[in-house]
Amino acid sequence: MSPDDPSSDPNKDKHLHVRVAEEHTSIYDLITEYLQVSGKAPDWYWRTAGRLEGTEGDNLEELLSSAFEAGAFISHDHPEDLEFRWVTEEECEKDRKREERGEQREAAKKDRTSLSHYA
């Protein structure tokens, strides 16, 4: 098969999970660091993110753009803090169910709300 042949892509039916590798690392701290380095106002960002209800189009675009930029910053400046994994929908659902059982329940909720899906 040709390298340009999309059917030869082993990740064709998968999506990317990006997670913080260490449970002691906070995605919020990493994003705040990015905002500070880029000259953006972390307080404004977090206040806006906390009250955003989907009707504020201008703020939503700025938040999404900043989050995307923060992801690039973190992967460049802190690659050791991230874990990348291509998963199928089935693997994703199994992981989600396993994480939500027992002791991992709170960590799973926090992880999902902390930029765990990018694609």
With 0.75 as the threshold, say if the pTM is over it. Answer: no
Question: Rounded to an integer, what distance in angstroms lies between the CA atom of residue 33 and that of residue 13?
Answer: 34
Question: Rounded to an integer, what distance in angstroms lies between the CA atom of residue 42 and that of residue 17?
Answer: 25
pLDDT in tens, 16-63: 888 788 877 888 888 889 889 989 888 988 888 877 665 566 677 777
What is the arithmetic mean of pLDDT over 1-30?
73
Question: Is the pLDDT reported for residue 10 higher than 80?
Answer: no
Strands 82-87 and 15-20: antiparallel
Question: Rounded to an integer, what distance in angstroms lies between the CA atom of residue 55 and that of residue 53?
Answer: 6
Q: What is the pLDDT at residue 118? A: 39
Q: 3-state DSSP call for residue 14?
A: coil
Q: What is the pLDDT at residue 36? A: 92
Question: Is the pLDDT reported for residue 84 higher than 50?
Answer: yes
Task: Give backbone dihedrals phi and psi of 38, rounded to 5 degrees, phi first.
Answer: -85, 0
